Amino acid sequence: MNNHSPTVLYPEIEPYSQGRLPLDETHTMYWEESGHPAGIPAIFLHGGPGSGSTPTHRRFFDPAYYRIIIYDQRGAGRSTPLGEIRENTTPHLIHDLELLRQHLGIDRWLVFGGSWGSTLAIAYGEAHPERCLGLILRGIFLCRKQEIDWFLYGLRNLFPEAWHNLVEPLSEAERKDILSAYYQRLMNPDPAIHMPAARTWSTYEGSCSTLLPSPATVSYFASDTVALGLARMEAHYFSHNIFLPENSLLENVHKLHNIPATIVQGRYDAVCPIVSADDLHQAWPQAEYIIIDDAGHSAWEPGIQSALIKTTDRFKTLIK
- Give the up-direction half-sphere exposure of residue 260: CA atoms within 13 A in the CB hemisphere: 14
- Cα dihedral: 247, 286, 263, 9 (round 10): -150
- Spatial separation of the C-alpha atoms in residues 283 and 142, rounded to whole Å: 13
297 is catalytic: yes
116-127 and 90-103 are packed helices; what angle lies between their axes, rounded to 10 degrees? 70
- Start-to-end CA span in the chain (Å): 20
Residues 87 and 27: beta-carbon distance below 8 Å: yes
Q: Which among 15, 116, 104 is positioned nearest to 58, based on CA atoms?
A: 15
Active-site hit among 96, 202, 297, 306 = 297
- Spatial separation of the C-alpha atoms in residues 153 and 150, rounded to whole Å: 5
Active-site hit among 34, 51, 115, 202 = 115
Q: 221-227: long-range contacts at Cβ-Cβ below 8 A with a sequence spacing of 24 or more? A: 224/195, 224/199, 225/52, 225/77, 225/82, 226/51, 226/52, 226/202, 227/195, 227/198, 227/199, 227/201, 227/202, 227/203
Residues 173 and 181: beta-carbon distance below 8 Å: no
Residues 311 and 264: beta-carbon distance below 8 Å: yes
Which DSSP letter does residue 80 get?
B
- The kind and range of the H/E element at 152 are helix 145-152
- The kind and range of the H/E element at 205 are helix 191-207
Residues 299 and 112: beta-carbon distance below 8 Å: no
- Spatial separation of the C-alpha atoms in residues 206 and 75, rounded to whole Å: 19
269 is catalytic: yes
Active-site hit among 62, 72, 96, 269 = 269
Residues with catalytic annotation? Answer: 115, 269, 297
